[in-house]
Structure 1
Amino acid sequence: MKRLLFLLTILLSLAFQPGNSAAIPKGALDEMPAVSKVNVPPSVRNITKENTYPNPTQDLPFLQPSELAKQLIVSSGTKIENPELIHMLNESNIAKAPFAFGYRATIYLGHWALNYQSAETSPNWEYQKINTNYFDNRGANGAYKIHYVQEAQKTVRGGLTAKIPASDDVQKMMLLKATEKTNLPLAFETIVGAGTKKDQEYNIPAKRLGYLNAYASAVNEKGKVTYGEVYLILKGNKRAIALKNVTSQGIGAWIPIQDLLSFSFTSSTVPR
């Protein structure tokens, strides 16, 4: 973080510098990239290959702390999982000085979202309707077959359910936890391109109208985020992190599932 770059240069005897640092019903998914940990209904289909807009894969691997970062995190007495804070600690090195006896320093590193604890992760397979394919077969004597064709490009966005501090950091932690619990391709934004098709056919009986609705799916993630003021404590050659004013707050988020659509087909004798 930029707010830290100049604070640590004041140390006379220490240098702060960059260093080294569940089963799926048969037919529910078509060539799913990974086995989901939630039950996926048969109405949900994978459109990864058919999607005319290639969604970028979310690459948010769990960041492993360095040895120094581990020591500092343990000294805090509180779980620290914020990837940004861990990255900052990983990219730092505090060198021991031979004449640091009696030296003391307390450096304020800022107010951080420290960790996120997941309480509930539940999918909504019909999170947002993105398309309707329609055909009027009331004037025919035989059945008519229709299949899904995306008529216009559709962007589906998720987000936090409330405004909270450090929202970007909280979103990253919630995305990591929800992905770990579901093993689904999650992202806070996903796009279905115009002209995307699925070959599965639906029969509209004679004398009836047919409606094929497509829905984007999403995961509803709920839990608790913990905040605190972070201080770097230097006492001689001892290094530690101290936390003050630690608070917790409940939060929820909707996180769309990339390239998974839920389909619902209905027929009727009158327009809907």
Structure 2
Amino acid sequence: MKKGLLISLVLLLSISFSGSAFANTKDIQPKIPSSVMEISKDNTYPNPTQDLPYLQPSELAQELLDASDVPIENPDLIRLLNESSVSESPLALGYRATIFLGQWALNYESSETSTNWEYQKINTNYQDNRGGKAPLQISYKQESQKQVKGGLTADIAYSDHVKKLMLLTAMKKTNLPLSFETIIGAGTKKDQVYNIPATKLGYLYAYAPAVSEKGKVTYGEVYLVLKGNKKKIVVKNVTSQGIGAWIPVQDHASFGFHTSDRPR
């Protein structure tokens, strides 16, 4: 009896630990393959750094956010609350007001984040060594300027706000420099050398990676309700919608080297 109870306890503990380990895998940052290289210092086009800081709410804004039944993460709405002020007066007894602040994308909940390291081909370098008797070296050089754009996978209300929410979430989950647009300048180079054997053709392909972000955005009408010296945020007509986005990884390139007996 005791032996059976001990075995059951061990099985229960192992299931709990394995379940916890599995649950945490969604938060593991993606491992960058060896074929992916950072080109920020080599890029002839200086991409602006995507700076979307997590806005710190003011004391009043935090009080209002805490009072809301629906989580509010939209940095533009938080900024609006930060710029607001409500005076507290002992004469406010009996004072009531409801102020409509508009309809907003309130928050975004991520369900899946993954990385396509070969999201879009940006360059091909080619060398013909079919008549050679020794290996021929080839390295990456961007032939022409390439613009890589991401975006939402569907039309959605308040798309600019939704993109900000998704970008903030994806940057936090992946710890990668992300932007909905990145440019690789002509003449960008890397010193990495690839050897083309004699009698072969060599192709060096370069790709721009991107993150696929999928989840759910929540909308609602936001009201500031004042009653005497009390104040709170009330959210009405709450709706949710599924959405996805492709967000390029800024100043990174993935390389694929191939040799062939005949032109590809």
Query: TM-score when scaled to structure 2?
Result: 0.88
Asked if 1:95 is matched to 2:51, the reply is no
| 1:74-131 superposed Cα distances (whole Å, 9 cap, x missing partner) | 1111110000000000011110122222221111111000001111111110000000
Once superposed, which parts of structure 1, at least 4 consecutive aligned residues long, lie more than 3 Å away? none
1:58-207 mapped onto 2 (5 Å cutoff): 58-207=50-199
Corresponding residue to 2:240 among 239, 243, 248: 248
Alpha-carbon distance between aligned partners in 2 of 1:55 and 1:255, rounded to the nearest angstrom: 15
Asked if 1:237 is matched to 2:261, the reply is no
Alpha-carbon distance between aligned partners in 1 of 2:145 and 2:104, rounded to the nearest angstrom: 38
What amino acid maps onto 1:177 in structure 2?
T
What amino acid maps onto 2:81 in structure 1?
L
SS in 2 for 1:258: coil
Identity %: 68
Alpha-carbon distance between aligned partners in 1 of 2:245 and 2:89, rounded to the nearest angstrom: 46
Corresponding residue to 2:217 among 218, 225, 244: 225
| 1:35-86 superposed Cα distances (whole Å, 9 cap, x missing partner) | x932111100111111111111111110111111111111111110000000
* Structure 2 unaligned blocks of 5 or more: 1-27
SS in 2 for 1:52: coil
Query: TM-score when scaled to structure 1?
Result: 0.85
Which residue pairs with 1:4 in the alignment? none
What amino acid maps onto 1:263 in structure 2?
F
Alpha-carbon distance between aligned partners in 2 of 1:212 and 1:249, rounded to the nearest angstrom: 41
Alpha-carbon distance between aligned partners in 2 of 1:66 and 1:125, rounded to the nearest angstrom: 39
What amino acid maps onto 1:80 in structure 2?
I
Asked if 1:38 is matched to 2:12, the reply is no
| 1:122-146 superposed Cα distances (whole Å, 9 cap, x missing partner) | 1110000000001111122221110
* Structure 1 unaligned blocks of 5 or more: 1-35
SS in 1 for 2:67: helix
- Which structure has more helix as a fraction of its residues? 2
Alpha-carbon distance between aligned partners in 2 of 1:112 and 1:168, rounded to the nearest angstrom: 11
The number of residues matched between the two structures is 237
Deviation at 1:237, TM superposition (A): 1.5
| 1:207-233 superposed Cα distances (whole Å, 9 cap, x missing partner) | 111110000011001111100000111
Alpha-carbon distance between aligned partners in 2 of 1:185 and 1:236, rounded to the nearest angstrom: 47
Alpha-carbon distance between aligned partners in 2 of 1:75 and 1:199, rounded to the nearest angstrom: 56
| 1:227-250 superposed Cα distances (whole Å, 9 cap, x missing partner) | 000011111111111111101111
Alpha-carbon distance between aligned partners in 1 of 2:220 and 2:125, rounded to the nearest angstrom: 51
1:50-61 mapped onto 2 (5 Å cutoff): 50-61=42-53
